[in-house]
Amino acid sequence: MTTSLVDRYVFTALRRVPEQQRADIDRELRASIEDAVDARIEAGEAREAAIERTLLELGDPDRLADSYADRPNYLIGPELYPVWRRSLMALLTIVLPIVVVVVAVVQVLAEDAGVGEVIGSAVGTIITVGAHMCFWVTLGFWIVERTGAGKDDLNRPWTPKDLPRYEPGALTRVQFAANLVWPAVLILAIVLQQFTFTDEPLLDPANWSFWWPVLIALVVLKGMWAFWVYRLGAWTRQVAAVNAVHGVVTGGVILYLLASDHFFNPAFSGFNGTDVDLEGWISVAVMITTALSIVYDIVDVARKAEQARKGLGVKIPGTGNTYTAG
């Protein structure tokens, strides 16, 4: 029985070992077990009990086999895990929303596309594209983990420069990128809905004589404001004042066009064929969303500017701590 127990342990471990290494590991593992058993017997233990305790200390034979074969028993190891997580989060929080917006715009501009179809398409895109991003990014890092190819390039040495900035006035690179990406996507959507996809644009084409160029200019100014704040590295009263003026003007343009029924194209076929005033409901929803978004943005920037002026710290998410510069 005792011999069978050792054999079963060794055979289980050898299943996960490359064939060319099995003979050497078989001899090494058996010798190690025998030495440990002999030592326990000399200490007064019975042989059967000594074997069981020795195997118990060696632990799971599958894990032991991985250590013998120098093979990781995890999908993404601790060296690459931070890089994998940052890459995946960047794709899911920046790239995926852009893809969803583009798909929704294309769906809206398609003929006979209802609200339900647009929502369904957006949800389907989130699930499908998100799943593909998770799978392919993880697969790529798994290959790097197992082969080692490109591992040094991905896992560059950490330096103190990589630490996040928690200063009250700092606009992070991610926030700066988001303030540039979304204006670019919005401008692209305004232009594409007019000149591609369909002969019936969603937005009123008559506004290209004045209002749409004005709105595009305001969007560009928002991106320039973000660049100014990023280079300045501080939330100031001037920054808050400029942002408030920009928000009021931008919101005023959008709300005026919506209230006067000059925002959406009255000839757009997607608003027809229903018993409800779909255009009216969407206009109200956009008006409420626009007003709330602008008010929140103005208040948030003003709050940050006041905190920076008073030298107050900022709360660090997930820590319960407050950081104060200096």
Q: How far apart (Å, rounded) are the C-alpha atoms in residues 224 and 231?
A: 11
- Placement of tokens 């408030």 in the chain: 244
Task: Find how far residue 192's CA is from the centre of its chain.
Answer: 26
Q: How far apart (Å, rounded) are the C-alpha atoms in residues 164 and 230?
A: 15
Tokens of 199: 């002969």
How much is the pLDDT for 109?
Answer: 57
How much is the pLDDT for 75?
Answer: 72
DSSP element (H, E) containing 314: strand 314-315
How much is the pLDDT for 1?
Answer: 36
Amino acid at 303: R
SS3 145: helix
Q: What is the pLDDT along the chain (326 residues), one digit of tens a residue?
A: 344 788 888 888 887 777 888 888 888 888 989 999 999 999 988 988 888 888 888 888 877 777 776 666 667 776 777 778 878 887 787 777 777 777 776 666 555 556 566 677 777 878 888 888 888 888 888 887 777 666 666 666 655 555 555 555 567 676 777 777 778 777 877 887 777 656 677 788 888 889 989 999 999 999 899 889 888 888 888 999 999 999 999 999 999 998 888 888 877 766 665 566 667 778 888 889 889 999 999 998 998 888 777 776 655 554 455 555 55
Backbone angles phi, psi at 276, to 5 degrees: -110, 160
For residue 280, give the nearest of 288, 289, 271 by alpha carbon: 271
Tokens of 256: 């005026």
Alpha-carbon dihedral 24, 25, 28, 29, rounded to 10 degrees: -160
Q: Please state the pTM of the whole predicted model.
A: 0.53
SS3 264: strand
DSSP element (H, E) containing 315: strand 314-315
How much is the pLDDT for 63?
Answer: 75
Buried b (16+ CB within 10 A) or exposed e, 195-219: eebbeebbbbeebeeebbeebeebb
Amino acid at 318: G
- DSSP-assigned letter for residue 203: B
Q: Quick check: 1 and 48 in contact, CB under 8 A?
A: yes
How much is the pLDDT for 250?
Answer: 93
How much is the pLDDT for 279?
Answer: 72
How much is the pLDDT for 322?
Answer: 58
How much is the pLDDT for 15?
Answer: 79
